[in-house]
Amino acid sequence: MFNYYENVIWKIDGALFACALALSAFIIIYSALKDILWRRRNQRLAELKKSFQHLAEAGKNSIKNGCISLTSRVRPEEFLSITHDINSIIPRKFESQLRQCFISYNKLSDIERLAEKSGNKWKRIQAIIILGYAKSESALNILKASLFNKDEDISYFSLLALGEMKDESSARVLFDFLQKRIYSGYKIISLLESFPASVAEVAIEYTKSDDPFVRFWALRLLSKLNLRGSLNTIIELTKDSVPNVRAAACDCLAGIGGQEAAAGLRQCLYDDFWFVRMHAVRGMGKALGKDSVREVSALIQDGNWLVRDAVKKVFKDNIEESLTVIEKIFSGNDDNAKSDCAEVLEFSGYIDTLLKELLSKEPHTRTLALLKGVVGARAHLGLEWSIKKFSSQERAHIISDIARIDPLLSEHIDKKIKDIIKEP
């Protein structure tokens, strides 16, 4: 009654079946061929790498003579694999010679042409990366232009290639590009971080940029470079109008260290923004070491837990110097600060020392005060763990001391250690 067009469907089925068979055959042939090509390519790459290694082993003069003939055999895509793996192929001391050889070899102009005009995007990207490695003078302009290409891949790999150039000019291009906010500061600064130390001078220039984003990232980079000569510029930036910049300046000063840096950090300890305070505390810890304890101790009562966390870290790293401050906090009224200090004693491993001292004939009054503080802060898990390490006689002694402070807790710990109760 109705036309189901079964003949048409059968015809479609026939076509689909033929397609399925053809596709199956194609996948098998393609995979087999790809396997063979893959193996050949790897073999050739291994041979090339070996030849470069031999050349490097033969010494300076051999590199000069043998390099060009070897380079002429390398195709761009192979060159890319070699440059990616360069540090495992040849010793670093020969790297610049090898690079010079690539530059002097006239194939570089072909690569430059590819990097500028190739219609095949990925061939173009390969050429761009090679240009970055070759570090030729003409490369900079090509890479600078391709950095602003509409295609995000071409732009991104030009960025990486500029990162590979590692000289002052490329650093400036990267800093300028930072202002465009096309790629994150993390990405660009991670590239600049691998530049030689002279990049610091460029970074200092950019700390004076009108753009707070650039100032911030220039400072972040400087914080990894430990640059004493720029101290005053950085201290000035602790007064910047942008809190992010002030925080980054604190990081920088932390790396520089010493009393002069601490003077800059001190003015950020009570900043209105919590993360500036946090960076200032961390910075103090790094810059002054044990001397920072007193400077930051008041911030254990800060309203922000990350600032308190930073203070705890300073206490933990300088536990001996912190004990007096901790004792004072235990005798105060701030429960949060008390619990933080108990945590510091636990994480620093000082609880073990405390308990050992408790077993001595005449324990120090501070020992008892600290134990009282830990028990009072209800931070007993670390205590249990440490008590477990002692003999049963010593445990009894310690638990009786705790019983004098908090009988219920001591009973609980005792039962738990004896496995009478288990915390669910």
Partner 1 sequence: MIKFLLPVFIYLLFLVSFAYFFVMTFYFLLLSAISFFEEKRRVMELDAEDFTTLYSSSFTLPVSVIIPAHNEEEWITDAVKAALNLKYPEFEVIVVDDGSTDNTLKQLDSLLKLKPFDMPFAEYLRCGRIREIFKSQAYPNVTVINKDGGCKKAGAVNAALNISRFKYVCVTDADTIIEPDALIKVMAHVQKDPENIIGVGAYFGLVNGLKIKDGKIIKWSFSHKPTVASQNIEYMRSLIVMRTAWSKFNVMPIIAGGFGIWRRDIFLELGGYSPEYSSEDLEFTFRVHDYFLEKNDKKYKVLMLPYIASWTEGPSNIVSLIRQRNRWQRVTNETVWHYKHMIFNLRYGAFAFFLLPYFLFYEVFGVFIEVAAIAFLVWGITVQVVDMRVLLAFFSFMVLTNTISSLLAIFIFTKDQKVFSMKDITYFIVLSFLEFFWYRWIITIAKIMGTFSWLRGIKTYDQYVRAER
Q: How far is the CB of 32 from partner 1 (least distance, A)?
A: 6
Secondary structure of 344-396 in HEC code, one letter for each residue: HHHHCCHHHHHHHHHHCCCCCHHHHHHHHHHHHCCCCHHHHHHHHCCCHHHHH
Q: Calculate the CA 326 to chain-centre distance.
A: 32
- 324 vs 44, 209, 332, 366, 369, CA distance in Å? 68, 45, 13, 8, 11
Residue closer to partner 1 (CB basis): 189 or 250 = 189
Please give the residues from 209 up to 238 whose contact with partner 1 meets the rule CB under 8 A: 220, 224
What would the two tokens of residue 140 be? Answer: 């900079």
Residue 270 lies near partner 1 (rule: CB under 8 A): no
Residue 381 lies near partner 1 (rule: CB under 8 A): yes
- 124 vs 205, 347, 419, CA distance in Å? 33, 54, 69
Gap between the terminal Cα atoms of the chain:
73
- Per DSSP, the three-state class of 4 is coil
Please give the residues from 276 up to 315 whose contact with partner 1 meets the rule CB under 8 A: 305
Q: Which of 277, 382, 390, 401 forms a contact with partner 1 (CB under 8 A)?
A: 382
Q: How far is the CB of 339 from partner 1 (least distance, A)?
A: 7
Instruction: Say how far apart CA 220 and CA 231 lie, in whole Å.
Output: 14
Q: Which of 90, 125, 248, 370 forms a contact with partner 1 (CB under 8 A)?
A: 125
Helix 152-165, helix 168-178: angle, nearest 10:
140
Q: Which of 35, 57, 110, 236 forms a contact with partner 1 (CB under 8 A)?
A: 35
Listed ranges 25-33, 57-65, 110-118, 287-295: which one lies at the site for partner 1 (CB under 8 A): 25-33
Number of residues that bind partner 1 (CB under 8 A): 60
Q: How far is the CB of 384 from partner 1 (least distance, A)?
A: 7
User: Where along the sequence are the contacts to partner 1 (CB under 8 A)?
Assistant: 1-2, 4, 6, 9-10, 12-13, 16-17, 19-20, 23-24, 26-28, 30-32, 34-35, 38, 80, 84, 87, 122, 125-126, 129, 153, 156-157, 160, 163-164, 183-184, 186-187, 189-191, 193-194, 220, 224, 305, 339, 342-343, 346, 379-382, 384-385, 423-424
